Amino acid sequence: MSDTIKTINCPACKEEMTKIFMSEGAANIDVCLNGCGGIFFDNRELKKFDENSESIDELKQAIEGKNFKKTDEAQTRICPLCNTPMVKNSVSTKGNIIIDECYNCGSKFFDHGELTKMREEFPTEQDRRQALLADTYNEVGLKIDQLEIQNTINHTQRSKFLKFLDRLFF
Ligand SMILES: [Zn+2]
Ligand SMILES: [Zn+2]
């Protein structure tokens, strides 16, 4: 877990990350203050800060007015806790917030600005889950509809063909 004394290096720019104590969740989170401004959460930490009502004041203060270096967001990042390649995942229905997730230990990395963007788009975790579910449902539901239409066509064609055979041979 990152909520330990162990310092970790930023998965995006490799700078050593700084631990910031957050009074809201009484947790230390790792922020890339001397590099890209990215934020790293272990598998339990994010839940404490993903809703707009949850205070991230200490984090905001720490990154305020700082210039962070740009990183290549398309690059695969390696989880600094367990060395597993992280997976890019959308946390927005608009598809404009892509974070890095470690499927092995559950850690998540937000590039500079992404956490605030996510909190603004969906004020609560519930809102975000519902929106993402609706999105998935639309995608899967559409595919099922298409399959059903396909099946109906096949069924009609088949019965026509059977009738044709029937007339031909009997
Ligand atoms: Zn960094
Ligand atoms: Zn990991």
pTM: 0.76
pLDDT of 4 > 70? The answer is no
Question: Are residues 119 and 132 both part of a single domain?
Answer: no
**Do residues 92 and 117 make contact, with C-beta atoms less than 8 angstroms apart?**
yes
Q: Looking at the CA of 100, name the nearest ligand.
A: 2
- The tokens describing 25, both together, are 């969740």
Where does the chain show beta strands of DSSP type E?
18-22, 27-31, 39-41, 87-90, 98-101, 108-110
Residue 144 falls within a domain, yes or no?
yes
For 108, the 3-state DSSP assignment is: strand
- Residue 148, in any domain of the structure: yes
Token output for 65: 């007015």
Cβ < 5 A residues, ion ligand 1: 10, 12-13, 15, 32, 35-36, 38
- Per residue in 31-66, pLDDT tens? 999 999 999 999 889 989 999 889 999 999 999 999
Lowest mean pLDDT among 69-83, 94-108, 128-142: 128-142
Please say if the pLDDT value at position 8 is more than 90: yes
**pLDDT score recorded for residue 109:** 97
- C-alpha 43/C-alpha 30 separation (Å) is 13
Q: How many domains does the chain have?
A: 2
Q: How far is the CA of 103 from the centre of ligand 2 (A)?
A: 7
- Pair 155, 113 in one domain: no
Dist. CA 147 → ligand 1 center (Å): 45
Same domain, 136 and 162: yes
User: Which bound ligand lies closest to the C-alpha atom of 15?
Assistant: 1
How far is Cα 90 from Cα 95, in angstroms, rounded to an integer?
6
Q: What is the pLDDT of residue 1?
A: 47
Residue 76 shares a structural domain with residue 129: no
Rounded to the nearest angstrom, the distance between the alpha carbon of 13 and the centre of ligand 1 is 4
User: What does DSSP assign to residue 66?
Assistant: -
Q: What is the mean pLDDT of residues 19-37?
A: 93
Q: 10 Å Cβ neighbour count for 38?
A: 28
The pLDDT tens digits of the residues spanning 111-146 come to 999 999 999 888 888 888 888 888 777 777 767 666
Domain around 158: 125-170
